[in-house]
Structure 1
Amino acid sequence: MGKPIIAIAGLGCENSTFTPSRTKVPAFHPKRGDEIFDFKHNQFLKKGTKLGDAAEWIGTLTGHAMPGGRVTTEAFEELAGEIVSRLADITKSSKLDGLWYDIHGAMFVDGLEDAEAELLRRIRAVIGPDVVVSASMDLHGNVSRELAHQTDLITCYRTAPHVDVLETRQRACRNLVNVLGQSSGGQKPTLPIKAWIPLPILLPGEQTSTRDEPASHIYAAVPEVEAMDGLIDSAIWVGYAWGDERRNRAIVMATGTNEAAVCQGAEKLAELFWESHADFKFVAPTGTFDECFDAAVASKARPYYISDSGDNPTAGGSGDVTWILSQILNREEVRKGLDGPRIIYASIPGPEAVQIATEAGVGAQVSVIAGAEVDNLHSGPIKLTGRVHAIRHGDIHAVTEVVLQVGNVFVILTKLRKPYHLERDFKQLNLDARNGADIVVVKIGYLEPELFDMANDWMLALTPGGVDQDLERLGHHLIRRPIWPFDKHFETPPNLKARIIAPSHEPLTGPDE
């Protein structure tokens, strides 16, 4: 028999339903056909690699957008329509055996529920129910009962911060190739048994980092369960806390060839998670902005990092809330100008401000207005007067970056929003965020690995925005109740028994629980 033919398709995005911004087609940076194999996390499928040579891989369209507000209906329809069209063309000349479904799991689309399941339903309508589908996901994604039904294999990251992105993608493809390799003589492969367990828990990533307990011991059990006889994969999804939809909650799944083992493995992980549900705490000391800034000023640790968590663009924030920058500039210590603490602030979008500063050039004194063009629910635009410290063009996210020195505060302004997670992000702007600042304020939740290494101490500021860490003040009204931490008391304990999910070619029966 020849190699299995496997298509690649998917859209990945994390969208806060509490952020007023909208995500459009260009944000996905769509890759088509062979472009997909040049993506840095897909090169393990190039010809000459073990997995690349194990099948005939055909790229259709994939797209990965920076987190933000909901995807527009028009954007989803355009990209989903192209995926379906490309798959239809492939099926005219080739019989597909498999599909790698490359998604995130927390995509929300205007006017649509359960976007990933809806996209896969449309794909199934073209490729048919017998094509084996393997999905790779972020652990902050959502696995609805319908998505579990439409997929045959499914896995997600096991680390947060996510240092196993490549490993997870490889695992999804390797599991798919292995299942397809079990077929012979033209027979259909035996589909894995899927156990699915929903948990009434919805927590932000800043309370569930696998660097800390209890998530560290819970996720350490995932490969142990996967190693059980009769299992192919096991996974835990924390869910996406800033999406307001019925599917948003924690999920445990296991897949394999032995029903008893699959159920046992899934139930072990679910029980571990539920036993610890009240033990999750923030990954760092938290406080109001003033509490965090007071601690930073008083500390001898340098640099001291403050996480502006409510407007984190990599969790779905718009990135242009000016509230904390306004607070910084109003602090008495900062009003001392060059005698105050040396502060780096990353960042605030301001296209017009960037243009003015760029035209003026490095060293020029300018007055500009930036921020709150998208999210003005918490604060308005901010006026900044200072010296242009640096200008940089060509960033994949920001396009153009400018550093404006306002007294002793170095404010990074961007044409488009950008996350600042790496030391080089600062060095490229002639900023030393490791040894050259007293305080560094970054729009992020938990510190990504390089920032964590650079910080000598840090606090997580509970600031307002579309990804506010105080979930209970955001106003969820569509999520299932009761659910922790919105509800602290449960009249009856949750059902932690595994539900066997029917394969996609069979009807999905039973209650929508």
Structure 2
Amino acid sequence: MTAPRVAIAGFQHETNCFGVTKAGLAEFEMADSWPAMLHGCRVIEETRGMNLPIAGFAASALAAGFDVVPILWCAAEPSAEVTDDAFETICSMILAGIEQAGPLDAVYLDLHGAMVTESLADGESELLQRVRALVGPDVPLVASLDLHANISRTMVDLADYLGIFRTYPHLDMAETGARCLLVLQRLLEGDVLHKVFRQVPYLIPLHAQFTGAPPFEALYGSLAGLAKQGVLAEISLGFTAADFPDTGPSCVIYADKAQDATEVANDLMSQFLRLETEVDHSMLSLEDAVVAAQESCSRPLVLADVQDNPGAGGTSDTTGLLEALLLGGSRGVLMGLFHDPTLAAKAHAVGTSSRFHGEIGGKSGLPGQSPVRAEFEVLALSDGSCRYSGEMYGGGIASMGKSAALKLYLYRAEVDLVVTTIRNQCLDLAQFTHFGLNPMDYNTICVKSTVHFRAAFGPIANRIFSVASPGVFLCDLNKIPYKQVQENRRI
């Protein structure tokens, strides 16, 4: 029996429509939190063992005896819209690779689900449409999506199956890719899966989407039991910074019987309606964050600068929380990661153990944001190539560019921090220990991240608070100037 031939490709971007800079082709070609653009066999070779959907799918497919045809994989750090040039160029490469692959039994795509381009509100639907038109209606087309996907009816109709992450922090990305392979095997054996798609009538801010605690822990925990009953339930919680008609949570249910899929969809929607009042939207004010940082703890307090998360399109250079802590005379504080190529270059120029005056942050042109001028001591320097040590990105390498660990002196305060040349979300202890900074030595740790940091920092934290500090990833949804989101989606 001939081994099934499956083409695999990935094109990921989480679009913050209120961001500052757009994602051009260069941003997809470079390495940052993720690997650089990969072509052909490098897709498998250079993602092997990583917690990535395409790695999980490829490993499972090869183990099952599939003939895997890798085309391309790329991702860009979340930002404003993907440029039309980048979208068209990458789509053309994927389509050309599929066409040149010869006869195929199936196609798998590693997508995000919240891509907006300069001209398209629904980037994933456009790519799925083009792939479907190329391979025809009878070739199974499956895709993995991020838990923050904003799913449209078109996406559901075009794909035979959409597998969605079930954890935030995303610890199950490779596992989701492997689940797509299991479903694909069923499709190739002739199974027909009935689909039911439902959209939840309210939005959920990302800092409230943590799946390791109520209310979403039990909701996602129930999905494995449904699978044992023959029903595949996929839930996304949506990405609130993508201003798109279908922004928000949704459910896609697959089952052998249409009635089973409908019943599960109805039950999940009822659960979502009951959970609406349980979602925790709270954030500490800057004043309360300073007070919290002054309390002595046996383990570090973690303050999450949730609205300046580069992993959600933030600039990673706002100074609201830093300024508040400095004015409060805070000491024993560790903060990262600041995206400040100018300051990083100056630190490299003066060298380790040197002191100099400089400016940090506030350089991206955001209204109300200006740099903090202070004295700095260079604690350590690096080329920014850092191997992740945590569960989420384990096996991968952060590319932060020329980076530095600095001690900032201002007023009577002292803050240790890490500055980078390439934007990276602060979500792994290695992003500090790489510079010789031990997070356990500090009273307070401030991370520019929304939830992903919890996988690595949660186990060492005494308490964790989200902080309402300035940034372009607004978590107070009432302040977002939406233009495209459906009017019936409650905030």
User: Would you say same fold, with TM above 0.5?
Assistant: yes
- Hey, what's the Cα distance between the residues in 1 that align with 2:226 and 2:464? 35
Matched, 1:72 2:83: yes
The equivalent residue for 2:429 is: 423
Matched, 1:112 2:113: no
Amino acid in the other structure paired with 2:381:
I
The equivalent residue for 1:499 is: none
The equivalent residue for 2:394 is: none
Secondary structure class of the residue paired with 1:405:
strand
The equivalent residue for 1:432 is: 438
Amino acid in the other structure paired with 1:359:
A
Amino acid in the other structure paired with 1:37:
I
- Hey, what's the Cα distance between the residues in 2 that align with 1:194 and 1:254? 6
Amino acid in the other structure paired with 2:225:
E
Secondary structure class of the residue paired with 2:196:
strand
The equivalent residue for 2:73 is: 62
- CA, structure 1 residues 45+142, in 2 after alignment: closer, same or farther (shift >3 Å)? closer
TM-score (norm 2): 0.89
The equivalent residue for 1:393 is: 383
- CA, structure 1 residues 46+444, in 2 after alignment: closer, same or farther (shift >3 Å)? closer
Amino acid in the other structure paired with 1:368:
G
Matched, 1:312 2:303: no
Secondary structure class of the residue paired with 2:126:
helix
1:165-186 per-position Cα deviation (integer Å, ceiling 9, x unaligned): 1111100122112321x1xxxx
Secondary structure class of the residue paired with 1:243:
coil
- CA, structure 1 residues 354+297, in 2 after alignment: closer, same or farther (shift >3 Å)? same
Q: After superposition, where does 1:332-411 map in structure 2 within 5 Å?
A: 333-334=329-330, 341-395=331-385, 396-407=398-409, 408-411=414-417
Cα distance, 1:66 vs structure 2: 2.5
Matched, 1:412 2:418: yes
- Hey, what's the Cα distance between the residues in 2 that align with 1:267 and 1:81? 39
The equivalent residue for 2:207 is: 206
- Hey, what's the Cα distance between the residues in 1 that align with 2:103 and 2:229? 34
Structure possessing the higher radius of gyration over alpha carbons? 1
User: Does the aligned pair in 2 maintain the 1:309–1:443 contact within 8 Å?
Assistant: yes
- CA, structure 1 residues 157+43, in 2 after alignment: closer, same or farther (shift >3 Å)? closer
Cα distance, 1:5 vs structure 2: 1.1
User: Does the aligned pair in 2 maintain the 1:69–1:317 contact within 8 Å?
Assistant: no
Q: After superposition, where does 1:277-296 map in structure 2 within 5 Å?
A: 277-282=276-281, 286-296=283-293
Amino acid in the other structure paired with 1:32:
H
1:337-395 per-position Cα deviation (integer Å, ceiling 9, x unaligned): xxxx2211102122122111101100111122343333523402332321111101142
- Hey, what's the Cα distance between the residues in 1 that align with 2:489 and 2:276? 11
The equivalent residue for 1:247 is: 246
Residue ranges of structure 2 left out of the alignment (5+ in a row): 29-35, 386-397
User: Does the aligned pair in 2 maintain the 1:323–1:378 contact within 8 Å?
Assistant: no
Matched, 1:482 2:482: no
The equivalent residue for 2:41 is: 34
User: Does the aligned pair in 1 maintain the 2:297–2:443 contact within 8 Å?
Assistant: no
Matched, 1:329 2:326: yes
- Hey, what's the Cα distance between the residues in 2 that align with 1:425 and 1:8? 31
User: Does the aligned pair in 2 maintain the 1:20–1:69 contact within 8 Å?
Assistant: yes
Cα distance, 1:43 vs structure 2: 4.6
User: Does the aligned pair in 2 maintain the 1:153–1:172 contact within 8 Å?
Assistant: yes
User: Does the aligned pair in 1 maintain the 2:147–2:237 contact within 8 Å?
Assistant: yes
1:186-233 per-position Cα deviation (integer Å, ceiling 9, x unaligned): xxx35421111111121123212111212112112222222224x3x2
- Hey, what's the Cα distance between the residues in 1 that align with 2:478 and 2:61? 48
- Hey, what's the Cα distance between the residues in 2 that align with 1:384 and 1:350? 14
Residue correspondences, number = 462
The equivalent residue for 1:260 is: 259
Secondary structure class of the residue paired with 2:294:
helix
- CA, structure 1 residues 296+329, in 2 after alignment: closer, same or farther (shift >3 Å)? closer
- Hey, what's the Cα distance between the residues in 1 that align with 2:61 and 2:247? 36
- Hey, what's the Cα distance between the residues in 1 that align with 2:430 and 2:475? 28
User: Does the aligned pair in 1 maintain the 2:14–2:115 contact within 8 Å?
Assistant: yes
Secondary structure class of the residue paired with 1:276:
helix
Secondary structure class of the residue paired with 1:15:
coil
The equivalent residue for 1:501 is: none
| Cα root mean square deviation, aligned | 1.9
- CA, structure 1 residues 155+423, in 2 after alignment: closer, same or farther (shift >3 Å)? same
